[in-house]
Structure 1
Amino acid sequence: MNDLDSKQALFEVPSISVEGPASQEGVSPEFDVDLFVIGGGSGGIRAARVAAGHGARVMLAEESRLGGTCVIRGCVPKKLFVYAGRFGDALDEAADFGWKISPPRFDWPSLVAAKDREIAHLEGLYAQGQSKAGVEVVHSRAVLEDVHTVRLADGRRVRANFILIATGAKPELLPFEGMELGITSDAAFDLKEFPQRLVIGGAGYIAIEFAGLFAALGSEVTVVCRGSNILRGFDEDVRQAISTSYTNRGITLLLGDSITRLVSTKASGSVEGRATINVVTEQGARLDADQVLMAFGRAPNTIGLGLDLAGVKTDEKGAIIVDASSRTSVANIFAVGDVSNQFNLTPVAIREGHAFADSIFGGKPWQVNYANVPTAVFSSPEIGTVGLTELEARSRYAVVDVYKARVRPLAAGVTGDCEIALLKLVVDGESDRILGVHLFAEDASEMIQVLSIALESGATRADFMSTMAVHPTFGEELLGMRRPTVRYDRR
């Protein structure tokens, strides 16, 4: 088994026994549609459109808005808000480069309205795409009644040859006193008033992205994190880099702590007409906040779907168990995206939906390769990462070379900014193959997309070194790290 095969095996789901149409005494039932998709998010929409393109009769049910979490209340509005926050830094830096700018003023309602217009536009495009493909979209909740029957909220029953569950995930809540006073990420984009003081519980993707964007827009932000550092699962150097950066930007990180109680009160210094939320933590901290964002993670959205009636098996967290082809424990029922809790990333859901539709309806079976999945955290600066972390590589390879560079951006020579960017390569010391790339820098998300192609193609350190640099750029620093910072050798 080569290195790529070895890593692929880490992400493969064990095969599972299936039961389904074959158990129905050989009877071939009449179906209303070839495919019924439950959920109109990224994965469901892609699967429906591609299946219809292959000639399938497809119906899709979405009880909320087309586009799902990513488009309506996730990736897209978040990135728009991140852009808004970055204008503050840009305006400050512009003066250092000779621009004469009168004192700027940020208007929260204008940003929310602009976001709403763009989301409505994208939702319309999704609806048009489904219509053009011939997909029948029903705006209704849909639940399973048996392996072939879906019941809509109005009582209609639809018989489908195949069923795809793509209901995504929802915010996970940890029970504590007064939790109803807090909000989740679903509500954060639609607040009527901008929170001058924001407390965030959690330290994963969502918590850290919201901490950065609200701080950039002018909030006083405190992050309460149970762990010893933020962004568990990321490379340790990246975690330390963003932790230092956020602290320097005025974001308070309460590590090794957790929220235990929220109390609505009227404290001194509160905004006129607005109740203050008093936040009490396990370690005894008491914080006053205008809003408390609960970002403890996300849970598969499977409650009340009727999975038990169809015999669809779930794990201890409620996630639907699937095999490498997204097939559930029932032969004709599949699941893609966050509902299976494998890789909770929009591009993964889209690719799973496409693979399902091609395999079942297009006569072109293929499976998603989960090795070297790139990801980004839209903090400021951004995090971009693909492949193995240093610790993962050291546990799996006999010799690991680590290359690191901390770089002050060129513009900082004029602005005086003390932000330091980080580049890190993790390399197999025996084959010279690059195992992981980790960036903390402006536009890291754009860089990691391109670098993931190199990793997927099996690029080596020598390949990087043979590439001509573009000067002056941040990316050229990847080619300038000629000697490893440290080598780990377990031979």
Structure 2
Amino acid sequence: MATNTEPTTGDSMDSKDYDYDLIVIGGGSGGIALAREAAKFEKRVAMLDFVKPTVHGSTWGLGGTCVNVGCIPKKLMHQAALIGQAMKDSEKFGYTVEPSFAWETCIQSIRDYIGSLNFGYRTTMREENVKYINAYGSLLDRHRVKCVNKRGEENIISGLRICIATGGRPRVPDVPGKDLCITSDDLFLRRTAPGKTLVIGASYVALECAGFLAGMGYDVTVMVRSILLRGFDQEMATKIGENMETYHNIKFLRGFVPQEFTNELEGDTKRIRVNATGSGSNAGQAHSDVFDTVLVATGRDPCTSGIGLDTVGVKLDDKGFILSDNEKTNVWSIYGIGDALSGKPELTPTAIQAGRLLARRLYGESTLACDYENVATTVFTPLEYGCCGLSEEDAIARHGEDNVEVYHDHVLPLELVIPRSEEFGFVKVITLKPEQERVIGFHILAPNAGEITQGYGVAMKCGLTKEQLDAAIGIHPTCAENPTTMATTKRSGKELKSGGC
């Protein structure tokens, strides 16, 4: 992309000529982190946040997607599902439990917690001298922002610099009857139980929602057009699908896409009929079924339209994401962080890190930029998938098959041996042979994979090699020890065998 241009004639570099030193548009994790960090340098900071309701009227408070309808409620609902599974497993350990699940109670507990986070953010903004404006912001020029509140009242504010931190929202296919469907923005605020549910999509959001809904006892089907978890390691993605189908009662309808959604009455109950057609090898086939809830999770689009980026000439990619270099756009006074940026991980911690580091570069003496490589993450499916670095496909594409060595092994979680002895996990370590087998990819499917992956991610930042992994002594008996004892490579063709100590 073009280099961030220098100020032009008519642009004042004196912050006194503006209402604020920095205006942040977007009150999610990244925007809040940037605003708070900038305020520490005694800068005048304003942060705008406004949530457009979904077609079902869902809206939420300060904190963005992660806090309100993303990471936080997702992890808590995942935990609710794990508790339900643990109660079923407990019988084999000698307990007598008769579990029942109340959706309303679960949702209320989660919303109460999130409400406390919303309140905490508002309080923190006030205490740290960040001006919080609950209004929709759009650029009028390189320095002025039009603010429109929920009553339609307009106000214009100015800032020497402006940062776009608007994140993204779920993408809904343009199919007749699409307004009958909900997205994750609605699910986490839903007050009534979803019942029999169709999840459309193969993203991590789709699989996570399908997983916890099934764990809570609901009948769940996942409609997949092609592959699971595009962009992730495909061997791991296949194993996740197999695990969900085999051990967690989740049905997969593969090779189909929705064509129409219609209301259908069964007595006094309104349900949704889904008509679908086959894709790929299923071309020409048709499928129809009725569900209580249809959840669409086919990806997310950036919130970059309608906010004036075209007015000031900020460059976007072909999907509407902001092109940037170290969070700088091609317009010198405009910056961007978080999920709205092109080619960056759409993860809360990266947005927070990028926001803090940007503030330190702008107002402190730091030159440190956000490192988007080797960012560890986890997909919270029933058996969690943690990963860091390159997938096997990407490693081979980038470095060549002859330069890549892949170590792999089964993982047998001891906690599952008694109740579910057949449910195995899997681990894969991808190394770069010419660089002393430096670890360039780490993947594990196991309980608590997120907790395991974080440590290995730190090690990869430090240049972890296979020799160092082998020299480490694992904690026994844990799934985390498996990467320290791996000896079988894919190249060898040897059969994997699982055993005890």
Shift of 1:308: 2.0
What per-residue deviation string (whole Å, max 9, x for no partner) do you get for residues 296-318 of structure 1?
Answer: 10000012111122222222211
1:339 corresponds to which residue? 340
Distance in 2 separating the partners of 1:419 and 1:160: 56
The answer as to whether partners of 2:13 and 2:160 remain within 8 angstroms in 1 is: no
Structure 2 counterpart of 1:435, from 429, 434, 440:
440
3-state SS of 1:113 partner: helix
TM-superposed deviation, 1:114: 0.3
Give the Cα–Cα distance (whole angstroms) in 1 for the partners of residues 24 and 269 of structure 2. Answer: 43
C-alpha distance after superposition, 1:432-456 (max 9, x if no partner): 2111110111000111111001111
Partner amino acid for 1:326?
E
Runs of 4+ off more than 6 Å: none
Match of residue 7 from structure 1? none
Indicate which of 71, 77, 81 corresponds to 2:73: 77
Distance in 2 between residues matched to 1:281 and 1:50, nearest whole Å: 49
Alignment match, 2:404: 400
- For 1:118 and 1:40, the matched residues in 2 are separated by 18
- Counterpart of 1:355 in structure 2 is 357
3-state secondary structure, aligned to 2:430: strand
CA distance in 2, matches of 1:277, 1:290: 6
Deviation at 1:225, TM superposition (A): 1.0
Q: Distance in 2 between matches of 1:27 and 1:137?
A: 24
Per mean C-alpha deviation after superposition, the further-off stretch among 82-91 and 23-32 is 23-32
Structure 1 equivalent of residue 323 of structure 2: 321
Q: What do the CA deviations read for 1:322-348 (whole angstroms, capped 9, x no partner)?
A: 11x211121011010011142111111
Quote the Cα distance in structure 1 between the aligned partners of 2:4 and 2:234.
Answer: 41
CA change 1:236–1:347 in 2 (3 A) is same
Please list every run of 5 or more consecutive structure 1 residues that lacks an aligned counterpart in the other structure. 1-13
Give, as a single letter, the amino acid of the residue that structure 2 aligns with 1:24: G
Task: Determine the C-alpha separation between the residues in 1 that align with 2:131 and 2:85.
Answer: 46
Mapping of residues 62-141 of structure 1, within 5 Å: 62-64=49-51, 65-101=61-97, 103-141=98-136
- How far residue 26 of structure 1 moved from its aligned partner, in angstroms, is 6.3
1:172 to 2:167 alignment: no
Deviations 1:261-306 (A, max 9, x none): 1111124xxxx64311111111211111001111110000012111
Name the SS for the 1:99 alignment partner: coil
Q: Matched residues in 2 for 1:373 and 1:264: separation? A: 43
CA 1:25/1:440 → structure 2, altered by over 3 Å: closer, same or farther?
A: closer
Q: Distance in 1 between matches of 2:244 and 2:251?
A: 8
Spell out the pairing of 1:402-417 with structure 2 (5 A cutoff): 402-417=406-421
Report the TM-score, using the length of structure 2 for normalisation: 0.90
> Counterpart amino acid of 2:229?
L
Q: 1:416 to 1:48 in 2, by over 3 A?
A: closer
Q: Does 1:247 find its partner at 2:234?
A: no
**Does the 8 A contact of 1:399 with 1:487 survive in 2?**
no
With 69-78 and 151-160 compared, the bigger mean Cα shift is at 151-160
Kept in 1: contact 2:412–2:479 (CA 8 A): no
Q: In structure 2, what residue type is equivalent to 1:332?
A: S
Deviation string, structure 1 residues 68-90 (Cα, Å, up to 9, x no partner) = 00001111011111111111111
Query: Where does residue 54 of structure 1 map in the other structure?
Result: 41
Moved more, 304-313 or 195-204: 304-313
Identity rate, percent: 33
User: In structure 2, what is the Cα distance between the partners aligned to 1:378 and 1:27?
Assistant: 46
Structure 2 CA distance for partners of 1:222 and 1:316, relative to 1, 3 Å: same
Say how many residue pairs are matched: 467
Distance, in Å, in 1 between the alignment partners of 2:462 and 2:256 is 42
What is the TM-score normalised by the length of structure 1?
Answer: 0.92
Is 1:401–1:487's contact at 8 Å kept on the other side of the alignment? Answer: no
| Structure 1 Cα separation of the partners of residues 229 and 218 of structure 2 | 21
- Structure 1 residue 429, shift from structure 2 partner: 2.6
Please provide the CA RMSD for this pair.
1.7
Unaligned runs of 5+ in 2: 52-60, 279-285, 494-501
Question: What per-residue deviation string (whole Å, max 9, x for no partner) do you get for residues 357-416 of structure 1?
Answer: 111111212211111111110111100001111122222143222111113222333214
- Name the residue aligned to 1:158: 157
Letter aligned with residue 42 of structure 2: G
Q: Give 1:60 shift.
A: 0.7
The answer on 1:466 being equivalent to 2:471 is yes
Matched, 1:454 2:453: no
Report the counterpart of residue 289 of structure 1 in structure 2: 291
User: 2:330 corresponds to which letter in structure 1?
Assistant: S
